[in-house]
Amino acid sequence: MRFERREHRSTLLVIATPILAVVAALAIAGVLIALAGAPVFQAYWKILTSAFGSRLSATETLTRASPLILTGLAAAVAFRARLWNIGGEGQFYLGAIAASAASVHLFAGLPSLLQIPLLFAVGAVAGMVLLLVPLSLRLRFSVDEVVTTLLLNFVALLFVSMLIDGVLKDPAAFGWPQSEAVDAAARLPKLLARSRLHIGLGIAVVIAFLIYFVQTRTVFGVQSRAAGLNPSGAVFAGVPLGRTLVIVAMISGGLAGLAGTIEVLGVKGYVTTDLSPGYGYSGIVVAMLANLNPLGVVLAALFTATMFVGADGMSRSMGIPTYIADVTVALSLLSMLVAVFFTQYRIRR
């Protein structure tokens, strides 16, 4: 048995790939649910109804999808240029803490229309800075950025934990380590009344379209793709590799920082060390599920959010550990990798 590269890929195959991958992941996760002694189809139905069965649950799922779109885009943009930014989680937290501190100590009292964009910028810059450190280590010392970005996640979380237990601690929080609540004018407007859903969702979707446009219609889009496909070839063709990677890193880190900013301004209003249930890491899965396509990221984020919100509800009523959502999401990443492989290769005997 050997593999042979396919001459051309049909559009149908490309569209069917993520669907097949998700079905395969759900099937394997179904075995795990069955082993736990629960009826599989009922469990999946419960996941679906818990994620979309009511107005409350549907808005909750969309609220969860918003940061995932942004962290997914952060990963997708970087991976396309083969910049392995696995530090989305750290950049998310740094963006969140920078924006909330800026709102409390710098921009308090400014009107929303001015304050919110300023805070977005602050949060994005914080995320950028955290990614530029590993990038410069790569460019200067040829250090693999996978490990450094992963390690910086721990550093960033400890840094945030230190700040909210120290200088940024809310004195009115009965000793709990959390940051002071942001200015009322900094809170994002709601998309729907009587829900947690805020305009972050709209912002995330607009950004996805913007990135799609940049990647398909601009010189920079081609350059970043070339930097990923074949770095030495790209240099030969006149692509400024270092500069392209720096810009990619700024976009990627900026998006992850923005995700944290939007989460803190949109949902809670203050930072704790459980602000993110792993949005940064899930963003990697979202990006891969979307095959790094920015528009696909929106759908993949929606799927991932559905699994997380749905599994919470299913877990409560059927006694299956909520971790089944993480298992399914991880499995869909692995099966997506295999599925993409088979769109590129066919088996020959």
Partner 1 sequence: MSALFDILASAGLWAAVLRIATPLILGTIGALLSERAGVLNLGIEGIMTFGAMVGWLTVYNGADLWVGVLAAALGGAMFGLLHSALTVTLGLSQHVSGLGVTLFASSFAYYVFRLMVPVAGTPPTITPFQPLDIPGLSSLPFFGPAFFNQTAPTYLAIGLAIALAYVIARTPVGLAIRMTGENPHAAEAQGVNPMAVRYGAVIAGSALMGVGGAFLTLSAFNSFFPTMVQGRGWICIALVVFASWRPERALLGAILFALFDAFQLRLQTVLNGVVPYQIFLMIPYLLSIVALAVMARRARVPQALMQPYRRGER
Q: How far is 74 from 211, CA to CA, in rounded Å?
A: 10
- The answer to whether 209 contacts partner 1 (rule: CB under 8 A) is no
- The answer to whether 40 contacts partner 1 (rule: CB under 8 A) is no
Please report, as a single letter, which amino acid is at residue 59. Answer: T
CB nearer partner 1, residue 51 or residue 339: 339
Nearest to 161 by CA among 270, 260, 273, 263: 273
- The answer to whether 148 contacts partner 1 (rule: CB under 8 A) is yes
For the record, the structure tokens of 263 come out as 């989460």
Segment interacting with partner 1 (CB under 8 A) among 16-24, 159-167, 228-236, 298-306: 159-167
Q: How far is 237 from 220, CA to CA, in rounded Å?
A: 14
3-state secondary structure of 302: helix
- The answer to whether 34 contacts partner 1 (rule: CB under 8 A) is no
CB nearer partner 1, residue 74 or residue 188: 74
For the bound state, the minimum distance from the C-beta of residue 318 to partner 1, rounded and expressed in Å, comes to: 12
For the bound state, the minimum distance from the C-beta of residue 108 to partner 1, rounded and expressed in Å, comes to: 25
CB nearer partner 1, residue 120 or residue 308: 308
CB nearer partner 1, residue 156 or residue 204: 156
- The answer to whether 333 contacts partner 1 (rule: CB under 8 A) is yes
Q: Which residues of 179-206 are buried (b: 16+ CB within 10 A; e: fewer)?
A: bbbbbebbbbeebeeeebbbbbbebbbe
- The answer to whether 334 contacts partner 1 (rule: CB under 8 A) is yes
Q: Which residues of 276-305 are buried (b: 16+ CB within 10 A; e: fewer)?
A: beebbbbbbbbbbbbbbbbebbbbbbbbbb
Segment interacting with partner 1 (CB under 8 A) among 116-124, 196-204, 209-217, 323-331: 323-331
Q: How far is 4 from 2, CA to CA, in rounded Å?
A: 7
3-state secondary structure of 179: strand
Residues that contact partner 1, how many (by CB under 8 A):
45
Give yes or no for a contact between 100 and 264, defined as CB atoms under 8 angstroms apart.
Answer: yes
Contact residue for partner 1 among 13, 159, 192, 318 (CB under 8 A):
159
For the bound state, the minimum distance from the C-beta of residue 183 to partner 1, rounded and expressed in Å, comes to: 26
160-199 residues near partner 1, rule: CB under 8 A? 161-162, 165-166
Contact residue for partner 1 among 245, 284, 286, 301 (CB under 8 A):
284
- The answer to whether 77 contacts partner 1 (rule: CB under 8 A) is no
DSSP string computed for 97-143: HHHHHHHHHTSTTS-HHHHHHHHHHHHHHHHHHHHHHHHHHHHHH--
34: number of Cβ within 10 Å: 12
CB nearer partner 1, residue 152 or residue 208: 152
Contact residues toward partner 1 (CB under 8 A) are 2-3, 32, 36, 79, 84, 86, 137, 141-144, 146-148, 150-155, 158-159, 161-162, 165-166, 281, 284-285, 288, 320-321, 323-324, 326-327, 329-331, 333-334, 337-338, 341
